[in-house]
Structure 1
């Protein structure tokens, strides 16, 4: 550029300061991020609200739309908030107000909406010109005492008005309703909790400031979501409470139902928090079409005003439990909530644990109580001062009236009153403004009474200000009132998954009666329910099962016991007793197949109750004895089954053409009897069978005779008074003393246990029984009869026995089950057997083979 060109350049403005653009960008971005953090995205730890929420509630209070007043148009409310406090888009204000009115978004909604405020399916709310709103009563508790100088105010955006920096908040709103927000460089995501639990925890904190988080968790068990559902697993909850961060897994609440046509259905009644129902159903349908989820024939949304109901129709061969697990795995029926407890503490973002959140709320309420008390004290003292002036004037009434009448104007009268009676300017002015009717005797008494009451109030307020204990008692009392008024039951229940064994400590180790029906329906019932009902004769059964079903196993177990479930294919599954669905005495229960992932062709053979799998001494000195249909017997230490797996493990290797028949838990010192279809039984001591590995196939327990022969049952004798009961296919049976069966080595052919003839038919069952047991016999024709063992007398070993049941032509016995009675056992079917005496001719045959 030529030198002369400089003359044409504008003069440099000396107010412009050159700076580095990197420094300017850094500084401007930090300012912007702090503005977003403090003024937009993060809640205040004291009232749990972001500025926009606080402004909406305060604006609605300004407008007078209280819970007991008429609704006002949402557009009017939004305009009020925009014009006075929130200089941003109207959609931000309306969206905020809408969310505070949605029952599926907030655990305790703060706005009472009238009109279309959206749906859990993600439908948009109607435009603000159509909807109306007002405050909920619980929101007014957030604003209570705001006019008593309880909180600081700041200028609004144009300095024309003042707005509160925080609300007095009688409710611990941050915990109760939670919040979520994305700031710059940080975010917050806090779950809602149950109001009753939170208040109980807060009161416990006030009573003991040194309380641990673990102790607080005894009051606040877990988050409580507005949509209900199930919190699956407890480790995430524990982590969130202790550190402020954690991952909480939520599962939809689902039940299994069977239609009138016998079709199985999965019914979902509650879904995880923040899941869009319509979108979830749409994505599930796509997964079904893509064959990623199998076993579902149809999916429908049958939700109505009475509640949510999503129906999954299952295909005929589907196992509901497996289908449901796949739905949890691949769809939003199971989702997680990432807890990140970030909130503003004195204007700075902090990650807070449960105790810190409660602590800051209590500090805030304490400050509110102090400021409110100080305000009320100031007001009371002002009033007492005026009343004092009234009383002085009334004591000198004639002089006061004379002075006022002689004064030229009010100012001279005021000065005269102040000088003559020693009154303050405020008192003198109040006397001049007093109405004449206050001069009557009755009014004087009222003034005197009011003065005395106000002096008592002043003493009380001063006592509050001087005693922190009194202030804390006030906080507790007010929280108690809030709990009484708004507290409710939990909506989200907690399921302690198989991995969370530590959570078992929270489940009481109560005695339960486990009931398993012949068809495989299982339930647990508190033993109290049985023991309060005596065995009053033999009537209809208590369980509401199918007409051809009956209770096959019934035993007492503790909630913390294990159930080992063995299948015909030789697999074993574990279930803790508390994981079995609870039902009343009359309930049908849940199919075992729906509780474990069993193959469709497999079936349940036995359920063994085990006290513990954690006690080394117990698992090393107890054994599982198994017997197959082909006479193979196997003994394995319980220790081999002490590491539960969700999908089960192999309990025994079953050879081709064989199947698992009977399983027993023994202590290593039992006698074993194995009976064959041909009518013989072998009796040997358990020590004859050495312990083997879990996957071993076993050793020969009895020798079969002929291709048609097979084992019909095994008993492990563990009751001194026990007898051996045998039943043949044509309805004959008997009870014999176990001592009649000489002890031999395992693997032999055995001795005669029933005199098999064409009349009796082959042996079908063998049971170890005592007098208190019952016998259930099922015919191939479907007829079921229950009889008391005490009605059968003990006979010789090699006899034909007596007729237990009269069979129709071509009919035979299908199966025989023993039912051990406990106190208050379910009432048996009324079927006294008339045949016990009619055919009791014993035909002796003492030849032993």
Structure 2
């Protein structure tokens, strides 16, 4: 912004005033910010009230709308508030009053409402002309002794009225009822707490200001919400007690009920604080409708004035508790509740830990007790002064009467009494105002008794003012008395055993297939989504492809593994496998860029790993040009971040074929298969470990026009039971024992792996398979055929094999865990 200037026209015909626009805007913004912070959004640390709440309650107190009186129209109260104390909109004042009357919003409502004051479903209250209100018992308690100069008063907005700066509350309302507010650059969020627990914690702190936070938690174990629920994640609560900032989890309460024929129902009876029941029901209904939550046969809201009751009838074989845990992660059945204890200390916003909250309340309450005591002492001294005059007159009663009768007027009588009894004008006037009936014997004794009692009271009041320990004792007794009268049982259960529920906790650990296409689509399927078929069948469609798209990448692994994606640019990205959507058979899935943040280029290889921080494991990358590169897996821990990390430096004419994980290089071997129908087997440790950004070393020497089709890492213990399966473009395949391929040195040309003919066509894919393995063949039409590994014909190296899939042109081969254990057949066809 440029410092443009504005011209202010003065009221007098003088020279114009020039001020920079920036200065005017800064001053105006600061004034506005200060007004919002101090007069609207933040509560006072002493009574826990924002100005609007304090003004509403004070207006009701002035109108004498007390707990024992009749309710008055809300419009009458709102008119009093905005007309005398709060120069803002009537809807804002009414909304604030409504919240103080809602038992699901306030732990201890300060207003007793009559009529429609909204609902926990989020319904609005009726218009203020239809509702009525009065102070609740807790609301009335906030004004105890306000007439005894216990708090300071100030002028209202136009100077026509006086209003209290703070109320003389006798309990820590800031902590008990809590509050929320958003100011300019500041916010406050204080959950409600149990009155009895707060009182006990405050008194424990009062006895020992050095009390530990853990000891405070023993008295006050957590927040207590009017809507109940289960509170957990209490590390954030302890942090909030210490610093004023933290977070807890609040979970709904539910139970299960039996239905007929073995079915059950899930019944939700308590929902989180400040959560709309109607919106929660809508969330659950949408999940059931979209089948993101399985096993729900029917759902209905049976809530009434007796309480909340949301019922989900479950289908036979489905556990209600498991459905509830799924809802916890996917809906507002569990929410995070934040602590940001920001309040006003005078005109200054401050962050408060629990000790600060207690200290502000203690200081305020002690000041109230001192001012109240001083007020009572002043009134007692005034009365005692009058009584002393009475006693002086009674001691000389005949002379007093004669003096009064002998005076011609009141002025003369007053002066004569001052001289006769050695008293001042106030006492003399009181004697003149004394009724004759007070001069009977019994009334005279009452005066003497009152004087004695008042003398003792004055001494007691002076003792209170002189001894801080007595003031503390009074504060303690009054707090305990209020707690005994108004405290209620804890509504929210504290459960230290519950932990955070994330999507990961709800995804079953299962073997999955992850399939990618040339056009960039990726999908996840359970490994058992395809039933086995006999070899030679047509297969079934598991992914929908556009006319110009083909399956190019695929892998299998556990749903909780990390899914590493290697791009054609050599970048490595990582997400959890369950983050890839399961779109079911036939759909094309989700685009890579909607799964991996910052991904550029095409994904050409995938693999799964349980842990990215492993120091023993290595990532081994194979390229079409015959190179192999081994790098410690821990070097790729940054692959989870946006954009991933570089995994290999590729030549311009080279590309990544696949990648594998090595965990024991001294006992593992590499099997690489090339398009020239050749394969090589050599020790993995001949490919030394190198950095992420290097090119790698030669794994197999290729002839012109050849490229690597596949590569696999095999442990030496499984060599005798492992086979190299090859398949041709026309769907002809076979499996050859790995021991038929002699061990060579890295960088050799390898040996024959397949003998093509006109019926078979050229070899296009290969994979190492073993016992308990199924194979899935993919075609360029998006079809796939799953065949038991035991059904793949076993042939020698120099053979073509037999037909495995008849329709479409084979593009790739995937080995997945078998749906049932089996071994390779010795079938020779």
TM range (shorter): 0.5 to 0.7
The answer (yes or no) to whether the contact 2:229–2:270 under 8 Å persists in 1 is yes
Cα distance in 2, alignment partners of residues 13 and 35 from structure 1: 33
The answer (yes or no) to whether the contact 2:301–2:311 under 8 Å persists in 1 is yes
**How far has the Cα of 1:417 moved from its partner?**
1.4
After TM superposition, the structure 1 = structure 2 runs for residues 605-644 of structure 1, keeping only pairs within 5 Å, are none
- Quote the residue 2:98 is aligned against: 98
**How far has the Cα of 1:210 moved from its partner?**
2.1
After TM superposition, the structure 1 = structure 2 runs for residues 336-485 of structure 1, keeping only pairs within 5 Å, are 336-485=336-485
- Quote the residue 1:211 is aligned against: 211
- Quote the residue 1:156 is aligned against: 156
The answer (yes or no) to whether the contact 2:189–2:341 under 8 Å persists in 1 is yes
Cα distance in 1, alignment partners of residues 61 and 498 from structure 2: 50
- 1:236-289 residue CA offsets vs partner (Å, 9 max, x unmatched): 211211111112111100111111343211110000000000111112211221
The answer (yes or no) to whether the contact 1:41–1:182 under 8 Å persists in 2 is yes
- Quote the residue 2:503 is aligned against: none
**How far has the Cα of 1:212 moved from its partner?**
2.4
**How far has the Cα of 1:419 moved from its partner?**
2.4
**How far has the Cα of 1:290 moved from its partner?**
1.6
Cα distance in 1, alignment partners of residues 160 and 12 from structure 2: 39
Q: Which runs of 4+ in 1 moved over 6 A?
A: 9-12
Cα distance in 2, alignment partners of residues 482 and 226 from structure 1: 19
- Quote the residue 2:265 is aligned against: 265
Cα distance in 1, alignment partners of residues 92 and 419 from structure 2: 61
Cα distance in 1, alignment partners of residues 211 and 259 from structure 2: 52
TM-score normalised according to structure 2 size: 0.58
After TM superposition, the structure 1 = structure 2 runs for residues 552-571 of structure 1, keeping only pairs within 5 Å, are none
The answer (yes or no) to whether the contact 2:42–2:183 under 8 Å persists in 1 is yes
Cα distance in 1, alignment partners of residues 115 and 470 from structure 2: 45
**How far has the Cα of 1:232 moved from its partner?**
2.4
The answer (yes or no) to whether the contact 2:107–2:225 under 8 Å persists in 1 is yes
Helix, strand or coil: the match of 1:218?
A: helix
After TM superposition, the structure 1 = structure 2 runs for residues 15-414 of structure 1, keeping only pairs within 5 Å, are 16-414=16-414
**How far has the Cα of 1:408 moved from its partner?**
2.0
Q: Which moved more, 1:156-165 or 1:267-276?
A: 156-165
- 1:582-620 residue CA offsets vs partner (Å, 9 max, x unmatched): xxxxxxxxxxxxxxxxxxxxxxxxxxxxxxxxxxxxxxx
Helix, strand or coil: the match of 2:17?
A: coil
The answer (yes or no) to whether the contact 1:213–1:355 under 8 Å persists in 2 is no
The answer (yes or no) to whether the contact 1:141–1:171 under 8 Å persists in 2 is no
- 1:470-509 residue CA offsets vs partner (Å, 9 max, x unmatched): 1101011001101110112111111224659xxxxxxxxx
* Structure 2 unaligned spans of 5+: 1-8, 501-716, 718-829
Q: Which moved more, 1:156-165 or 1:319-328?
A: 319-328
Helix, strand or coil: the match of 1:306?
A: coil
Aligned in 2, Cα 1:498/1:402: closer, same or farther, shift over 3 Å? closer
Cα distance in 1, alignment partners of residues 237 and 296 from structure 2: 33
- 1:67-117 residue CA offsets vs partner (Å, 9 max, x unmatched): 111111111111222222112111112111111110000001011111111
Q: Which moved more, 1:210-219 or 1:102-111?
A: 210-219
**How far has the Cα of 1:11 moved from its partner?**
13
CA RMSD of aligned residues (A): 2.0
**How far has the Cα of 1:12 moved from its partner?**
10
Cα distance in 1, alignment partners of residues 200 and 278 from structure 2: 37
Cα distance in 2, alignment partners of residues 124 and 312 from structure 1: 27
Cα distance in 2, alignment partners of residues 318 and 454 from structure 1: 77
Cα distance in 2, alignment partners of residues 16 and 401 from structure 1: 78
After TM superposition, the structure 1 = structure 2 runs for residues 724-739 of structure 1, keeping only pairs within 5 Å, are none
Cα distance in 2, alignment partners of residues 339 and 10 from structure 1: 49
The answer (yes or no) to whether the contact 1:143–1:169 under 8 Å persists in 2 is yes
TM-score normalised according to structure 1 size: 0.57
The answer (yes or no) to whether the contact 2:266–2:321 under 8 Å persists in 1 is no
**How far has the Cα of 1:402 moved from its partner?**
1.6
The answer (yes or no) to whether the contact 1:118–1:125 under 8 Å persists in 2 is yes
**How far has the Cα of 1:319 moved from its partner?**
2.4
Helix, strand or coil: the match of 1:378?
A: helix
Cα distance in 1, alignment partners of residues 11 and 497 from structure 2: 78
The answer (yes or no) to whether the contact 2:10–2:16 under 8 Å persists in 1 is no
Aligned in 2, Cα 1:162/1:10: closer, same or farther, shift over 3 Å? closer
**How far has the Cα of 1:335 moved from its partner?**
0.9
Aligned in 2, Cα 1:116/1:12: closer, same or farther, shift over 3 Å? closer
**How far has the Cα of 1:345 moved from its partner?**
1.0
Instruction: Work out the number of aligned pairs and report it.
Output: 495
Helix, strand or coil: the match of 1:168?
A: coil
- 1:348-397 residue CA offsets vs partner (Å, 9 max, x unmatched): 10111111101110111011011111110000000000000111111111
Cα distance in 2, alignment partners of residues 381 and 309 from structure 1: 62
- Quote the residue 1:595 is aligned against: none
**How far has the Cα of 1:343 moved from its partner?**
0.4
The answer (yes or no) to whether the contact 2:45–2:360 under 8 Å persists in 1 is yes
